[in-house]
Amino acid sequence: MRAFVFPGQGSQKVGMGVELAQASPVAREVFEEVDDALGAKLSAIMAEGPEDQLTLTENAQPAIMAHAIAVLRVLEKEGGLALTGVADCAAGHSLGEYTALCAAGAFSLADTARLLRLRGRSMQAAVPVGVGAMCALLGADLEKAQALADAASEGQVCEVANDNDPGQVVLSGRREAIERAVSLVKEHGIKRGVLLPVSAPFHCSLMQPAADAMAEALDKTPLQAFRVPIYANVSAAAVTDPSEEQRLLVEQVCGRVRWRESVLAMRAAGVEEFVELGGKVVGPMIGRIDPEARVTSVVTMADIEALAKEIA
């Protein structure tokens, strides 16, 4: 069995998609459609920057999605590999779950772009800049990370946001609590704590205003039937029912990204091969979660041709 997986925030970089757009009219169409949906030249920011504009959450989220969908569409239309023919399920890390849903036909490309722009804006607006923070704990498992979060909170929000792999957990919350957590890592047997260069404390209860905004937007943009099951971040389980997935997407804004468990659940269901489209971020995590799993990252035209050849 094979899963298609999609990266989350942090995988954006200036120049993303340029080579693909030059090589393929299919990729150019994707970028144009996203620009039209947003009424803005996101493709120009992706290609030329400036970096601080691309890093803005409201730009980074639709940009990462557009890049991954461009890779998928080229694979489908030029490589002759339909998603349903080659993938048994799909999943994405945080915003990547929206990419997975777009790939599976649950959302149109234009709707996915608009939803992610709103998601980025509402997550940014939920907490004033500087009030929240996130940190990555290296050499921490979930148990150690939870104990540290509890110790550092002192009545402030300090929560596990991402359980990425066996040695990396991310905390999110009030800046003072997150800074306390970083200072306490050694006492909790954790190798290192690193403050992340993010503009808001994602995936914690401070994001409730953004969850409310997404609930309203998702009501107006209902999901269609999926072509393959999607493994949801907050449940780490396969979902096939659009109304259940809609509820989980709202929960996902404040909820934990259970990536490690999602990968283990896909493995338990028989997935042997993971193909990451549009990045090289979740692939390495999967390798750390289960070194036995086969992982391929597909970003460039050469990657697409190699995968098409291998699967064909």
In this prediction the pTM is: 0.96
Quote the CA–CA distance of 103 and 287 in Å, as a whole number.
23
Catalytic residues: 94, 203
Query: What is the per-residue pLDDT across 92-144, written as a single tens digit (0 to 9) for each?
Result: 999 999 999 999 999 999 999 999 999 999 999 999 988 999 999 999 999 99
Query: What is the per-residue pLDDT across 28-48, written as a single tens digit (0 to 9) for each?
Result: 999 999 999 999 999 999 999
In the predicted structure, residue 90 carries a pLDDT above the cut 90: yes
The stretch 149-167 carries a mean pLDDT of 97
pLDDT band, very low/low/confident/very high, at 311 (cuts 50, 70, 90): confident
Three-state DSSP class for 61? helix
In the predicted structure, residue 79 carries a pLDDT above the cut 90: no
Question: HEC string of the chain?
Answer: CEEEEECCCCCCCCCCCHHHHHHCHHHHHHHHHHHHHHCCCHHHHHHHCCHHHHHCHHHHHHHHHHHHHHHHHHHHHCCCCCHHHHCCEEEECCCHHHHHHHHCCCCCHHHHHHHHHHHHHHHHHHCCCCCEEEEEEECCCHHHHHHHHHHHHCCCCEEEEEEEECCEEEEEEEHHHHHHHHHCCHHHCCCEEEECCCCCCCCCHHHHHHHHHHHHHHHHCCCCCCCCCEECCCCCCEECCHHHHHHHHHHHHHCCECHHHHHHHHHHCCCCEEEEECCCCHHHHHHHHCCCCEEEEECCHHHHHHHHHHHC
In the predicted structure, residue 10 carries a pLDDT above the cut 90: no
Token duo for residue 270: 């028989």
pLDDT band, very low/low/confident/very high, at 6 (cuts 50, 70, 90): very high
The stretch 180-189 carries a mean pLDDT of 97
Quote the CA–CA distance of 205 and 209 in Å, as a whole number.
9
